Structure 1
Amino acid sequence: MGGPSKRHARAEKKASGSGPGSSEGQQSSSNALTQRSTPRSIPRIDGNRDPVAIGGRIPVEYSKANDLKNISEFLGMAGWYVARGYAIPDSLPSRPPKFNNFGREISLTLNTYNVLQSPSTPVHQYDVAWGQSTDATKRILIKKIWNSKAVKSALGEPLNLWIYDGNKLAWSGKKLDREETRIQVDLDAEEAQEAIAAGRTPRARSSEKKNVHQLFVRLTRTVDFAHLNAFLTGHASWSADCIDTVNFLDHVMREGPSQKYTQIKKSFFQRGEQRFDLGQGIEAFKGVFSSLRPVLNDKKEKCLSVNVDVANGTFWRAQELSRAIAQAFNTTPAKFQADFVNAKRDWRHSMLRKDLSRFKRLGVTATHNKSNLTQWTIDEFVGLDCHEAKFNDPDDKTNTKQISVYQYYKSKYNIECTPRLPVVRMTKKIRKGPVYIPMEHLRIDANQRYNSKLSDKQTSEMIKFAVTLPPARWQAVENGVKLLDWNNDKYLRHYGIKISPTPSKVKARVLPSPTLQFGPSVPNGKPATVPEKDLIQGRWRLDGKRFIQPNTREITAWGVCVISGRGGLPKPVVEKFASEFIRVYESHGGRFAAHPKFQKKPFICEGNLARGGEMVADAYNACGNYFNMRPMFMMFIVNDRNVEVYRRIKKSCDCRFGVASQVVQSRHVGAAQAQYISNVCMKVNAKLGGCTSYAASTTLPKINPKMKSIPTMVIGADVSHPAPGAGSDQAASFAALTVSSDVTLTRYWAECNTNGNRVEMVTTHNINQHLGNMIKNWMTRVGNGQPPQRVLYIRDGVSEGQYAAVLEEEVRDMKSAFLTQGAKAVPKFTVAIAGKRHHVRFFPEGPGRDRNGNPLPGTLVETGVTHPFEFDFYLCSHVAIKGTARPIHYQVILNEGEWEGPEIQQFLFEHSYHYVRSTTPVSLHPAVYYAHLAADRSRAHLNESPVSSGKKEANAPKQASNTGSSSKQKVEIAPLIGMGNFLGLKEAMWFV
C-alpha cells in the first residue's frame, strides 16, 4: 500500500494547495475535529459521488474526471486502483489456492447468468459535449436532444446503433468519418414538424429565445475486447482497457430496457405494473435489476456474468398535486390553508416549507388548459398565494406592468384560483421571470421515484410488499429475465453479445455448526449445550438455560418508571411484571442482592412526559432516595413505539446519570409472557456485564491449531448517514467503533461520535479518541499490558470504490492509535469488508434448504458470483424469519494476519452465534451488528434539544466539517454529549 498511498497523498496535497501559505493550512482547531490529519484521498471518487481530478491527472484518461462516476461497479479493488491511475498494491490478497472443504456439500442455484459470447470487433468510444446554450444538468433535455432526428441522422441510426450513458460517453460499432462531429438541433422546429404531420397546430414560440442546441461528438479511444479476455484468462492484469470494456458492456445491457421501461440506475420498472399503495400518496411496484460483472463462474472459469434480481421501487402516485399534499400531511384543504397562513409569518424557517420541499424537482403537468397540457418541474412552493404572487404581464408591450396569478388565470382562462394556498414556482423561466402555477391545477406525472425516507407506517407496508419467500422470489427473477428479453434485444444482437438463459448452479458448503454453550445448571457443573438440530435450523429456546456469564454486579437498587397516559398500566400489573422479571432473570442465573428493607423489589413510580427530560431525573432521584444509594439499573414502561420518547430516556440515562436502562412496552408488560421476559433479560444481563452464551469451536482448531494461543482483537465499524430529504445536507453522520473486550470475543465495548455531514470514512479524530481509549482498556484488562498480535477489522457500509480508502485512512489511523497508546509493535491487521447491499441470492436444493426454501445457516458460496482473482465469498450465517435470506458478501482487502480462507469463513460463521440478545445466529458478525446498534443509539446523544434546562449540555463546542460531504458549504456538526460513567456504563454493552 505504501507506494500508491504516498503518491495519492502528494497529488491531493498539491491539488488542494494545502501548504503552509494556503487557507487550508490555517483551519481552526474546531475544524480539525472532523477533518483528517492528512488530506483525504479516495472517498472523493467512490463511484457514487462526483469525484475531483487529482493533481491535474485524469483517471482512465476520460474526457473529464467526473466521468469516473459512470464506470461499472464490481471491478474489484484492483480495478478501482487502475481506474484512478495507480499501481495495484502488492498487499492486495488474492483468492486462496484451495476452496473450503469443511462441512457438507450442497447444490444451489444463483440468480446469475453467464455471458456466452462477447463482441469480437472493436467498438469506438466518443466524448459527448454541449454548446454553451445547453444546460447539461437537465437530464430530460439532454435525452430529448440525443433522441432528436438531427442527431440520429448525423450518427447514422438506425443502421448504426449507438450506446449513450446519458452523460458524457457514447459508443458506436462504426467509426464516424471525422474525429469530431458537430450537430445542430432545433427542438422547436422538430416539434412543429411532428405536430403538422399529426394534423395538429404547432405551438406558438417566443421569438426571444430559440430552442437550438449544439452537440459535439469527439472520438476518444477504441474499446478492444482482447484486453479483458487476457485479464480473465490470467495472461494480463487489470488495465484501463479492461475497465473501458466492462463499462461499455454494462451500458449495452441497459440501452434496450431503458427505452422500454422506467430506468432507475440499474433497475427497470414496467409502466403497466400493478401498484401497491403505501399510503400518504406513495406507491410501490416491482421491477427488475440487472448488472454485469466479471466472476469466477460455476465451472470455476473466469468469465462475465449478469446478476438479475427483483427491484422494489417507491414512486409518487400519479394524481392531483393538491390531493397528494392532503395525503402526505393527512390534512384537509381548510386546515392546509390555515397552516399556510400561519407559516407565512416566517415562511423561510417554517416547518411547512421544509415539509413541502420533498416535492422539489417533481415532474408535474399543468391541467388548466385542457387543449394544451404542459409539463413542468417543481422548483419550490413559495410563501405567496395567487393574489400575492405577481409576474410581468405578457400582454404589456412595455414589460413594466405586473399582474397577479389570480388576475392572469381569471382573464386568460376564466378560472378563479383558490386563495390562501401557496403557488408553485417552476424550474423553467419565461422572459427571464419566474413561472407560478396554482397548486390545484397541477397533476403529478406517472412513474417518478420517491426519494425521501418512508414513514414508519409506509416502511411497514413496504416490508409486506417486498418480502417474499424463495419460490415467489425465484418466479419474479424468471419474470425479470423475460422482461429483459435478451434474445430479442437489438443492441445485444447488434454488438454480438449472448447471455445464457440458464442460471448458474454451484456446489456450495454448509459449514459445521459450533457447540453453543450456556452456563451450568448447578455450581461447578458442565455447561449446558443446545442440540445440534436446533443450531442447524437456526433457532433455540432459552427455557431452562442459564447465561454463560451472569451480571458481574448484583442488582441492589433498581427502579421502574411507568409513563402515565393512554395505555399506562396500574401499579399491581407493574408489580406482577417486576416479580416475574426477578424470577425469570434468576432462573437464567441473574444475580440480585436483597436489600435489608425492600428485598429484591424495585422502586416503582409514575412518569409524566410533559416533564420532558426531567421525567427521567425525577424517577432516578426518587429511586436513589428510596434505596439511599445510586440506582444500578432503571426500567421504563412506555405506551407505544415513539422514537422521540425513547431517545429522550436514553439521553438522560446515558449522558446525565450514566445508568443502564431498559425500555419496554406496556402491552408486553401487561401480558408478562416468559419468553418476552427472557428476551429482556438477555439485554439487561449484557448491559450489566454479563453474556448470554458462548460458541465453542470444534472446527477452528483443526484449521489453525495455534489460533487460541494468538492474542486477537476484533474491531467493528459502521458509519450511518442522515436519511435523504429535507435538512439532510445539514444533519450529522454517526461513526461507531466496537472492540472485543475479552479473550473469548463474546463481549464488546462501543464508542460513538458524530462524523461530519456524510463523511464516509471514520475521521482521524474519532479513531484517535474513541478507538484509542478502547485499545488502552484492552491492553490493560485483556492483554496484560501488551497489544494483540492480530487484529481482525470488519468494516460495514462502504462501496467497492471506497475499499482503498479504508486501508489508506482508517487502518493507517488505527495503526497509529496503537503506537500512541504505547504498543511497541503494531498488530498485524486483517481487514474484511461486510457488504449487504447487493442482489445475490441463494436458492438451494434438497437437504441444503429449510422448510421455506432458504439456505441453512453456514451456507458458503465461493464460486459462481465471486471475483475471478480477489479474496471474497458469500456467507449466509442466519435463518431468514421472513422472505428470502440475503447472504453477506465478505471481501478481504488486507491480510497481514495470514488468515486462511477456511479459518476466516468458519470464524465469521461461528461468531454469528455470539450475538448476546438473540436466540438465533445473526447475518452479520456481531462486531458490525453492535456498531449498527451503537450508531443508531448515539442519535439520542445529539447535542440539541437538551433533556433538562440543560445549559451545560447546550453549550458544548461545535466541530465543523465539509470533508467528503455532499454539501456545497461547510456544515458545523457538534460532537455528541459524553456518556456518564459513574457505574462503568461505557465499559458495559450499553447499546444492546
Structure 2
Amino acid sequence: MQRQGFIQALHLSSNLLTLNVQTKSTTFYPESLLLDFIIQKIGQNRIPTEQDYKNLSQILKGCHVVTQQSNWTQAYVINRFDRRQPHDIKIDTGDSLIKYYENIKNIQLRHTRYRCLEVYFPNDTRKQCHLPIEKINYKNGGINFEINLNTILGMKKFQQDSFMFFGADVLHPTSVTQQHPSIAAVVASGNSQCSMTATRICQQYPKQGKCSLEIIIGMEEMVVQLLKYNQEVNKRLPTKVVFYRDGIDDGQFSKIIAEEIPAIRKAFDRMYGEKSNHPLLTFIVVKKRHNTRFFKHDQVENTKINMLIGTVIDTKIVHPYQYNFYLNSHKALQGVNRPSLYHVLLDEIEFTTDELQLLTYYLCFTDQRSSTAEAIPSLIHQADLAALKARDLVYNDDG
C-alpha cells in the first residue's frame, strides 16, 4: 500500500467539506520489515541486481531503519546501499566488517551476499556506518539457528520421537498499575529443532484483596492452541514435551505441581484422547533471581574471573535430594555472570543428567535474532518479551 502526499487542510465548498491534499512533497509507505520491502519492490525473493540496488537506494534514502539485538534497539537513517558486501568493507583496525561483528559484537554473519546499508544516526549526519541487513532474515521467514538433537541426545532412544519445547512466564503489575491484570505468556516451538515458535498470552486478575497470581490460570487453553500450532507445522503431534517455567519461588513448587502440570495434562486429554496416547512431559523451573555466583581463579593474573560458558554445577552446593543444577550459559559483557538455577519438578522422558543439561544449554542459543547464548532458554526470554508487549496493549496511559 502506498499513499501520495499529506493532508493539508479542510475547506468548506458547495459539496460541504473538501479535503485539500498536498501531493508534491513526499510518498508515504507503511512501516514494514526491510527485506519484505526489498522483495516486494524487486518482485522476487533473490539477491538484488546492480540496477535493483540503485532503485532501492533512491526509494529508501532518508527513511529510518531500526535494528534490534535482544532487548536493545537502535534507529538509523538510510543514505544508500553501499557497492560493497560485508567482507569488502574495512574498519579503522584493518579488520573486515565480518571480523568486526564476530570479534566485537560476537555476531557471526551468515548472509554476506547482501550489500550493506550506508546509514547514519538521526542526530548526526556526519557519523556514518555500514549496517548488514542479514538480521532481518528470521523476520523474513528464514532460519538462523536450530538445535541438533542428534548431537545432544544421540537419538538412539528418541529416534522416532517428535519433541516440542515450551517457555512460560507471568508479568505482574507494578505498585503504580495495581488495578491492571497480570499478563501470562507461553511460547512453544513448531518443530523439534526449535527454529519456529508461536506465542499465546492471557490476562489474569487476582481475587479481591489478594496479591497477584503467579499460577497461570489459562494454561490449559494456551497449551491446546500451541499443540495445534505444532501439529500444523510438524504434521504430527509431539511425543515428548519439555516445559520451562520462569518466575517461580521455591515455596510455590507445590502449587505448580498441583495446578499447572494438571492443566497441561488436561490439554493433552483434549488433543490426544486416551492417556496412553499422551506425550511424555518434563517440567523444569528456571530461577534467575538468586545470589549465587561462581568464579574461576586465574593463576597467571592471580585474580578471579567469570566461569566459562557451558559450565554446569550439579554437586556439593545443590539441593541434597531435589533434582537441580546451575548452568552458566552466557558470556558476561560486563561485570559478573549470574548463572541460572534449574529445578526439575517432573521428568517422564527420563533424560540422563548430561542430556538434560546439554539440551538446556543448546536451547539458550535459539534466539533467531542473536548469535550469542542467553542466560536462559530463548523460549523463556521470548515469553518475557511477549508479556511486556502485551502489557503495552492492555495498559493504557489513563490507567
Please tell me whether residue 736 in structure 1 is matched to residue 185 in structure 2.
Answer: yes
Aligned to 1:925: 377
Aligned to 2:156: 705
CA distance in 2, matches of 1:848, 1:913: 31
Please state how far the C-alpha of 1:695 moved relative to its aligned partner: 4.4
Please say if residues 711 and 789 of structure 1, whose CA atoms lie closer than 8 Å, have aligned partners that are also in contact. Answer: yes
Please state how far the C-alpha of 1:642 moved relative to its aligned partner: 12
Please say if residues 298 and 305 of structure 2, whose CA atoms lie closer than 8 Å, have aligned partners that are also in contact. Answer: no
Please say if residues 558 and 603 of structure 1, whose CA atoms lie closer than 8 Å, have aligned partners that are also in contact. Answer: no
Please state how far the C-alpha of 1:681 moved relative to its aligned partner: 4.1
Q: Kindly provide the amino acid, as one letter, of the partner of residue 806 in structure 1.
A: I
Aligned to 2:265: 815
CA distance in 1, matches of 2:157, 2:343: 24
Aligned to 2:140: 688
Please tell me whether residue 942 in structure 1 is matched to residue 391 in structure 2.
Answer: no
Match of 1:775 among 227, 252, 271: 227
CA distance in 2, matches of 1:913, 1:668: 35
* 1:874-885 matched pairs, under 5 angstroms: 874-885=326-337
CA distance in 2, matches of 1:867, 1:877: 20
Please state how far the C-alpha of 1:938 moved relative to its aligned partner: 1.3
Change (3 A) 1:665 1:744: farther
Q: CA RMSD in A?
A: 4.3
Please say if residues 272 and 278 of structure 2, whose CA atoms lie closer than 8 Å, have aligned partners that are also in contact. Answer: no
Please tell me whether residue 759 in structure 1 is matched to residue 209 in structure 2.
Answer: no
Q: Kindly provide the amino acid, as one letter, of the partner of residue 759 in structure 1.
A: L
Aligned to 2:197: 748
Change (3 A) 1:751 1:592: farther
Please say if residues 171 and 183 of structure 2, whose CA atoms lie closer than 8 Å, have aligned partners that are also in contact. Answer: yes
Q: Deviations over 1:434-489 (max 9, x none)?
A: xxxxxxxxxxxxxxxxxxxxxxxxxxxxxxxxxxxxxxxxxxxxxxxxxxxxxxxx
Match of 1:826 among 265, 275, 278: 278
Q: Which runs of 5+ in 1 are unaligned?
A: 1-556, 560-570, 572-577, 584-589, 608-633, 644-663, 947-972, 974-992
Change (3 A) 1:580 1:819: closer
Please state how far the C-alpha of 1:742 moved relative to its aligned partner: 2.1
Larger relative contact order, structure 1 or 2 (CA cutoff 8 Å, min sep 6): 1
* 1:620-659 matched pairs, under 5 angstroms: none
Please say if residues 148 and 193 of structure 2, whose CA atoms lie closer than 8 Å, have aligned partners that are also in contact. Answer: no
Please state how far the C-alpha of 1:700 moved relative to its aligned partner: 2.0
Please state how far the C-alpha of 1:687 moved relative to its aligned partner: 2.6
Please state how far the C-alpha of 1:846 moved relative to its aligned partner: 4.4
Change (3 A) 1:860 1:746: same
Q: Kindly provide the amino acid, as one letter, of the partner of residue 346 in structure 2.
A: L
By percentage of residues, which structure has more strand? 2
Please state how far the C-alpha of 1:826 moved relative to its aligned partner: 2.0
CA distance in 2, matches of 1:891, 1:700: 20
Change (3 A) 1:689 1:579: closer
CA distance in 1, matches of 2:125, 2:157: 48
By percentage of residues, which structure has more helix? 1
Aligned to 1:861: 313
Please state how far the C-alpha of 1:919 moved relative to its aligned partner: 2.5
CA distance in 2, matches of 1:778, 1:729: 35
Q: Deviations over 1:502-550 (max 9, x none)?
A: xxxxxxxxxxxxxxxxxxxxxxxxxxxxxxxxxxxxxxxxxxxxxxxxx
State the SS of the aligned residue for 2:257: helix
Please state how far the C-alpha of 1:599 moved relative to its aligned partner: 5.8
Aligned to 1:714: 165
Change (3 A) 1:822 1:700: closer
Change (3 A) 1:690 1:869: same
CA distance in 2, matches of 1:801, 1:681: 44
Q: Kindly provide the amino acid, as one letter, of the partner of residue 933 in structure 1.
A: L
Q: Kindly provide the amino acid, as one letter, of the partner of residue 241 in structure 2.
A: V
Q: Kindly provide the amino acid, as one letter, of the partner of residue 712 in structure 1.
A: F
CA distance in 2, matches of 1:579, 1:791: 35
Please state how far the C-alpha of 1:761 moved relative to its aligned partner: 0.9
Change (3 A) 1:856 1:760: same
Change (3 A) 1:855 1:770: same
Q: Deviations over 1:688-746 (max 9, x none)?
A: 322222344675244x53335321110110001123x3x33312211110000123112
Q: Which runs of 5+ in 2 are unaligned?
A: 4-25, 27-32, 39-44, 74-119, 207-211
Please say if residues 281 and 348 of structure 2, whose CA atoms lie closer than 8 Å, have aligned partners that are also in contact. Answer: yes
Please tell me whether residue 905 in structure 1 is matched to residue 361 in structure 2.
Answer: no
Change (3 A) 1:743 1:591: farther
**Structure with bigger gyration radius:** 1
Please say if residues 580 and 672 of structure 1, whose CA atoms lie closer than 8 Å, have aligned partners that are also in contact. Answer: no
Change (3 A) 1:768 1:858: same
State the SS of the aligned residue for 1:743: coil
CA distance in 1, matches of 2:195, 2:300: 29
Please tell me whether residue 806 in structure 1 is matched to residue 270 in structure 2.
Answer: no
Change (3 A) 1:602 1:868: farther
* 1:578-617 matched pairs, under 5 angstroms: 591=46, 600=56
Aligned to 1:792: 242
Q: Tell me the TM-score normalised to structure 2 length.
A: 0.65
Change (3 A) 1:606 1:920: closer
Please say if residues 697 and 910 of structure 1, whose CA atoms lie closer than 8 Å, have aligned partners that are also in contact. Answer: no
Please say if residues 147 and 194 of structure 2, whose CA atoms lie closer than 8 Å, have aligned partners that are also in contact. Answer: no
Aligned to 1:889: 341
Change (3 A) 1:582 1:919: farther
Please say if residues 716 and 795 of structure 1, whose CA atoms lie closer than 8 Å, have aligned partners that are also in contact. Answer: yes
Aligned to 1:364: none
Change (3 A) 1:691 1:844: same
Q: Percent identity?
A: 23
Q: Kindly provide the amino acid, as one letter, of the partner of residue 741 in structure 1.
A: G
Please say if residues 848 and 856 of structure 1, whose CA atoms lie closer than 8 Å, have aligned partners that are also in contact. Answer: no
Aligned to 1:976: none
State the SS of the aligned residue for 2:306: coil
CA distance in 2, matches of 1:818, 1:591: 42
Change (3 A) 1:899 1:729: same
Change (3 A) 1:636 1:913: closer
Change (3 A) 1:914 1:756: same
